[in-house]
A and B are shown apart, each in its own frame.
Chain A
Amino acid sequence: MTEIVSSAQGATTGAKSSFGFLRNHLREYGILFALVAIMAFFQIVTGGILLKPVNLTNLILQNSYIVIMAIGMLLVIVGGNIDLSVGSVLGFIGALAAVMIVNWEVNYVVTGIICLAAGALIGAAQGFWVAYYKIPSFIVTLAGMLVFKGLTLWLLEGQSIGPFPRHFQLIASGFIPDIFGAENINLFSLVLGVVAAVALLFLAARNRLHQQKSGIVDEPFAFFLVKNAVIALAIVYMSYLMATFRGLPNVFIIMALLIAVYSFLAGRTTIGRRIYAIGGNEKAAKLSGINTERLTFLTFVNMGMLAALAGLVFAARLNTATPKAGLAFELDVIAAVFIGGASMSGGVGTIVGAVVGAFIMGVMNNGMSIMGIGIDWQQVIKGLVLLAAVIFDVYNKNKAA
Chain B
Amino acid sequence: MSSDIILEMRDITKTFPGVVALDRVNIEVERGEIHALVGENGAGKSTLMKVLSGVYPHGSYEGQIVYNGEEKAFRGVADSEREGIIIIHQELALVPLLSIAENIFLGNERARRGIVDWRETNRRTRELLARVGLTEHPETKITNIGLGKQQLVEIAKALSKEVKLLILDEPTSSLNEKDSDALLDLLKEFRERGISSILISHKLNEISKVADTITVLRDGATIGTIDCSAGPVSEDRIIRDMVGRSLSDRYPPRTPKIGETVFEVKNWTVHHPIHTERKVVDDANLSVRRGEVVGIAGLMGAGRTELAMSLFGRAYGQNISGEVLIDGRPADVSTIRRAIDAGLAYATEDRKTYGLVLDETIRRNIPLAKLEAVASNMVVDERREQAVAEQFRDKINIKCSSVAQEAVNLSGGNQQKVVLSKWLFADPDILILDEPTRGIDVGAKFEIYTIIRDLAAAGKAIVVISSEMPELLGISDRLYVMNEGRIVGELPTAEATQERIMSMIIKSAGQLAG
Binding site for B on A (CB under 8 A): 210-211, 213-214, 216, 218, 268-271, 273-274, 276-277, 280-281, 283-291, 347-348, 401
Is the Cβ of A287 less than 8 Å from the Cβ of B354?
yes
- Give the residue name and chain of the A residue nearest to B309 (CB): A287
| Residue in A270, A277, A287 whose CB lies within 8 Å of B315 | A287
Which one of A211, A280, A291 has the greatest number of beta carbons of chain B within 10 Å? A280
A-B contact sample (8 more), CB < 8 A, given A216-B386, A280-B357, A287-B348: A214-B383, A270-B378, A274-B371, A277-B368, A284-B354, A284-B357, A287-B336, A287-B355
- Give the residue name and chain of the B residue nearest to A287 (CB): B354
> Which residues of chain B come closer than 8 Å to A280, judged between CB atoms?
357-360
Is the Cβ of B371 less than 8 Å from the Cβ of A273?
yes
Is the Cβ of B340 less than 8 Å from the Cβ of A289?
yes
- Give the residue name and chain of the A residue nearest to B336 (CB): A289
Is the Cβ of A269 less than 8 Å from the Cβ of B380?
yes
- Give the residue name and chain of the B residue nearest to A343 (CB): B359
A210 to B385 alpha-carbon distance, docked (Å): 13
A348 to B387 alpha-carbon distance, docked (Å): 24
Is the Cβ of A286 less than 8 Å from the Cβ of B379?
no
Instruction: Supply 26 A–B pairs (Cβ within 8 Å), ascending by A.
Output: A210-B382, A211-B382, A214-B387, A218-B404, A268-B382, A269-B380, A270-B380, A276-B360, A277-B368, A280-B357, A280-B360, A284-B353, A284-B354, A284-B355, A285-B357, A285-B368, A286-B336, A287-B336, A288-B336, A288-B369, A288-B422, A289-B426, A290-B368, A347-B359, A347-B360, A348-B359
Asked if B337 is at the interface (CB within 8 A of a chain A CB), the reply is yes
- Return B55 CB to nearest CB of chain A, in Å: 15
Q: A216-B386, A216-B404 are in contact. Are A281 and B357 (CB under 8 A)?
A: yes
A268 to B312 alpha-carbon distance, docked (Å): 29
Contact flags B280-324 to A (C-beta < 8 A → 1, else 0)? 000000000000000000000000000000001101000000000
Q: Kindly count the residue-residue contacts between A and B in the assembled complex, taking CB atoms under 8 Å apart.
A: 84
A291 to B338 alpha-carbon distance, docked (Å): 11
> Which residues of chain A come closer than 8 Å to B360, judged between CB atoms?
276-277, 280, 347
Interface size class of B (residues with CB under 8 A): 35 or more
- Return A10 CB to nearest CB of chain B, in Å: 24
Which one of A268, A271, A348 has the greatest number of beta carbons of chain B within 10 Å? A268
A12 to B346 alpha-carbon distance, docked (Å): 52
A281 to B365 alpha-carbon distance, docked (Å): 11
Q: A268-B380, A273-B364, A289-B337 are in contact. Are A283 and B371 (CB under 8 A)?
A: no
A276 to B367 alpha-carbon distance, docked (Å): 14
> Which residues of chain B come closer than 8 Å to A213, judged between CB atoms?
383
A368 to B175 alpha-carbon distance, docked (Å): 62
- Return A275 CB to nearest CB of chain B, in Å: 12
Binding site for A on B (CB under 8 A): 312-313, 315, 336-337, 339-340, 346, 348, 353-360, 364, 368-369, 371-372, 375, 378-380, 382-383, 386-387, 404, 408-409, 422, 426
A215 to B462 alpha-carbon distance, docked (Å): 35
- Return A396 CB to nearest CB of chain B, in Å: 14
Q: A288-B368, A347-B357 are in contact. Are A268 and B383 (CB under 8 A)?
A: no
> Which residues of chain B come closer than 8 Å to A274, judged between CB atoms?
371
> Which residues of chain B come closer than 8 Å to A276, judged between CB atoms?
357, 360, 364
- Return B234 CB to nearest CB of chain A, in Å: 40
A287 to B350 alpha-carbon distance, docked (Å): 12
- Return B383 CB to nearest CB of chain A, in Å: 4
- Return A252 CB to nearest CB of chain B, in Å: 27
> Which residues of chain B come closer than 8 Å to A401, judged between CB atoms?
408-409
Is the Cβ of B380 less than 8 Å from the Cβ of A291?
no
A352 to B368 alpha-carbon distance, docked (Å): 24
- Give the residue name and chain of the B residue nearest to A291 (CB): B337
Q: A268-B379, A348-B359 are in contact. Are A287 and B346 (CB under 8 A)?
A: yes
Is the Cβ of A281 less than 8 Å from the Cβ of B346?
no
- Return A269 CB to nearest CB of chain B, in Å: 5
Return the 3 tightest CB-CB contacts between A and B, nearest first. Answer: A280-B357, A288-B369, A289-B340
- Give the residue name and chain of the B residue nearest to A272 (CB): B380
Is the Cβ of B358 less than 8 Å from the Cβ of A281?
yes
> Which residues of chain B come closer than 8 Å to A291, judged between CB atoms?
337
Is the Cβ of B353 less than 8 Å from the Cβ of A283?
yes
- Give the residue name and chain of the B residue nearest to A271 (CB): B378
- Give the residue name and chain of the B residue nearest to A278 (CB): B357
- Give the residue name and chain of the B residue nearest to A280 (CB): B357
- Give the residue name and chain of the B residue nearest to A282 (CB): B357
Which one of A216, A285, A290, A348 has the greatest number of beta carbons of chain B within 10 Å? A216
A31 to B426 alpha-carbon distance, docked (Å): 38
- Return A208 CB to nearest CB of chain B, in Å: 12
- Give the residue name and chain of the A residue nearest to B422 (CB): A288
> Which residues of chain A come closer than 8 Å to B368, judged between CB atoms?
273, 277, 284-285, 288, 290
- Return A305 CB to nearest CB of chain B, in Å: 19
- Give the residue name and chain of the B residue nearest to A214 (CB): B383
> Which residues of chain B come closer than 8 Å to A281, judged between CB atoms?
353, 356-358
- Return B393 CB to nearest CB of chain A, in Å: 13
